[in-house]
Chains A and B, each alone.
Chain A
Amino acid sequence: QVQLVQSGAEVKRPGTSEKLSCKASGYIFSGYYMHWLRQAPGQGLEWIGSVNPNTGDTSISHHFHDRVTLTWDTPIRTAYMELERLTSDDSAIYYCARGYFRWFDFWGPGTLVTVSS
C-alpha cells in the first residue's frame, strides 16, 4: 500500500532554514510527481511546489520560488523540501503528497514546523 512517511516536528529560529523529508513506499517512486503543500494553524491549504523524480522537472509557486529547493533521492525513495529564511509566517504543517495526473491521491501525515525566537 502507498505510504508517505515524513520527518518529525521541528522548532526553528527566524532567519534559519528547514529541510524536510518524505519517504515513499508501496509504489514506483520515480513514476509519480511529489508535491509539497502547507497549512498554517487553523488555515487553508497552500501549494508550494512539485518535483518529477523521473525527469527532474520541478515547479515552485512564485510565492516561494526564491526560498524553496526541492530535491529527491530515488534509490531511497525520498523527497526533500528545503525552505530558507524562515519567518513566523512559515509556521505550519508541511505535507508531501503524491501527484497522480493533476490531483493529490496520497498524502503524508505532515510535519509541524514552528518558527519562533
Chain B
Amino acid sequence: DIQMTQSPSSLSASVGDRVTITCRASQTIGRYLNWYQQRPGTSPNLLIYSASSLQSGVPSRFSASGSGTEFTLTINSLQPEDFATYYCQQSNTYPYTFGPGTKVEIK
C-alpha cells in the first residue's frame, strides 16, 4: 500500500493567517492527490482534486500544488469555518489511502 504522511499533525492559527499543510507519499503518485476537509461531526468534503484543481464551490483561498511524492495545501486568510481536519488522499493505486490528517485549531 502507498503510505501517506502529513505534517504537521496539528497547528494553531488565527483568523486571517496563512496556513500550509504538507502531504508526502511513500512512492510517486503523479498528480493523483486529493484534499478533503472534515469538520467535527460531519462527512469529509472535497476541496482539491488532481493535486491542484479547486472543486466547484470551494473558496479560492484554498490552493494546492505538488506532484510525485510531495504536495501542499495552502489556506490564505484563514476563516472561522476553516477550523477543521484536513486529509490528503492518493488515488494513484488501489487501495486508495489517506494521510492521518492535520487538525487546524483556533489560536
Contact pick for B45, options A35, A107, A109, CB 8 Å: A107
Assess whether A63 is interfacial by the CB under 8 Å rule.
yes
Q: Which residue of B lies closest to A106 (CB)?
A: B46
Given contacts A95-B43, A103-B91, contact A45 B32 (CB under 8 A): no
A44 touches B96 (CB 8 A): no
For the complex, give the distance between the alpha carbons of A103 and B50 in Å.
8
Describe A's contact surface by its main secondary structure: strand
Interface size on A, residues (CB 8 A): 20
Assess whether B67 is interfacial by the CB under 8 Å rule.
no
Assess whether A54 is interfacial by the CB under 8 Å rule.
no
Assess whether B87 is interfacial by the CB under 8 Å rule.
yes
Tier of interface size on chain B: 20 to 34
For the complex, give the distance between the alpha carbons of A45 and B50 in Å.
19
B95 touches A103 (CB 8 A): no
Contact string, A36-64, partner B, CB cutoff 8 A, digits 1/0? 00000000111100000000000101110
B99 touches A44 (CB 8 A): yes
B55 touches A47 (CB 8 A): no
Given contacts A45-B89, A46-B98, A62-B95, contact A103 B34 (CB under 8 A): yes
Known: A44-B99, A107-B44. 5 other contacts (CB 8 A): A44-B100, A45-B44, A47-B98, A104-B36, A110-B43
Offer 8 A-B interface pairs, CB within 8 angstroms, sorted by A. A44-B101, A45-B87, A63-B95, A95-B43, A97-B44, A105-B46, A109-B43, A110-B43
